[in-house]
Amino acid sequence: MTKRDAAIWRAGVGLGAALVLTAAHAATTAAAVPQIFAPGVISGAQDEGAAAFTPDGDTVVFARGEGQRSTLFVSHRVGGAWSRPRVAPFSGRWRDLDPAMAPDGSFLLFVSNRPIVVGGAPLDALGTDGKRYVGRGMNLWRVDRHGDGWGAPVRLPDAINTSTMTFAPSVAGDGSVYFDARDPADGVIRLYRAQYRDGDYLPPVRVALGEAGAKIRDAAVAPDESFIVFSIVPAGSRAPLRLAIAFRERGGWSAPIDLGDRVNDAGYAMGSQLGADRRSVYFYSARREAHAPGAAWNNGSDNLWSVSLAPWLDAHRAAASP
């Protein structure tokens, strides 16, 4: 997603206590260096947000905008080069962001403030203080892929859209959805999972990830739910959000493993989505590239970056081997 309103999205985020980073992981992650994604074509002078890829890796849907404006764009890889992005046929009128592709490429989830009913007003967000943020609401919507085309967007049911601040979806292989939402009980934004079963979603349940009080944002789950990448800040800290990974363990998730300073060395890192290879993660950051001074995209705006997850995935597999 593109930059969010600070009062709503980034209040209190940061890093204080160190996350788990074992010596074994530290020794294997030195080569994990983020790479700018398609500079000058997809990563440009405006803010770019989460990138969602088709299974073949040849089509990407991503968010682009400034301030509170955000539109979904589509680009295709042809002959090894990414095409000039075009506004997605189902976007351009409302504030659309946070695209997430189903692992089989059959549909895309995204976040929008578009009216819940035809002819209605854009969705407002309700703050914990009761204040109404006009047009800044966010619900999850689905649009099906039909060959190279798209269907009409459909809002996900109220079982998932329980809040006017529901965002950052990620789709598991069985259709279950992970997402961030404001807890109606205390107003805190938390990570949830809604199981998809028999053509419908069960009531969402909170995902226990990290220490109590840790802030979790923008999770990207593996299709088989064997690992999950996300942005985190430990409880009580006010430094920028950092990328971390956790692995499925009996009864829940492992302790978060920080992706290290090579990945998290330039302010916040957010908007995680897995690449088509399922061994890389794409995220957005306002970091600058020292080797591209003067480039229009290298202006401190949010750009899309990728980094290989191979060091962490391989280390975990090796540790689990008998």
- CATH number where 107 lies: 2.120.10.30
What number is the average pLDDT over the span 236-265?
A: 92
CB 232 within 8 A of CB 239: no
Q: Is the pLDDT of residue 307 over 70?
A: yes
Q: Is the pLDDT of residue 62 over 70?
A: yes
pLDDT per residue as tens digits for the range 153-184: 999 999 999 999 999 999 999 999 999 999 98
DSSP for residue 58: S
Q: What is the CA radius of gyration of the chain?
A: 18
When pLDDT is cut at 50, 70 and 90, the band that residue 241 belongs to is very high
Query: In total, how many domains does the chain have?
Result: 1
Per DSSP, helices labelled H in the chain are 6-9, 23-28, 310-320
Q: In the prediction, which pLDDT does 20 show?
A: 52
CB 307 within 8 A of CB 281: yes
Q: In the prediction, which pLDDT does 30 show?
A: 61
Percentage of the chain with pLDDT > 90?
A: 73
Q: In the prediction, which pLDDT does 25 show?
A: 52
Domain of 221, in residue numbers? 6-320
CB 311 within 8 A of CB 28: yes
Q: In the prediction, which pLDDT does 1 show?
A: 42
Residue 78 within a domain: yes
3-state secondary structure of 75: strand
pLDDT per residue as tens digits for the range 92-108: 999 999 999 999 999 99
CB 145 within 8 A of CB 196: no
pLDDT per residue as tens digits for the range 102-145: 999 999 999 999 999 999 999 999 887 788 999 999 999 999 99
Residue 1 within a domain: no
Q: In the prediction, which pLDDT does 11 show?
A: 34
Q: Is 176 left (phi over 0), alpha (psi -120 to 50) or beta?
A: beta
Per-residue tokens: 118: 């035809």
Indicate the burial class of 183 (C-beta count within 10 angstroms; 0-12, 13-18, 19 or more).
middle
When pLDDT is cut at 50, 70 and 90, the band that residue 305 belongs to is very high
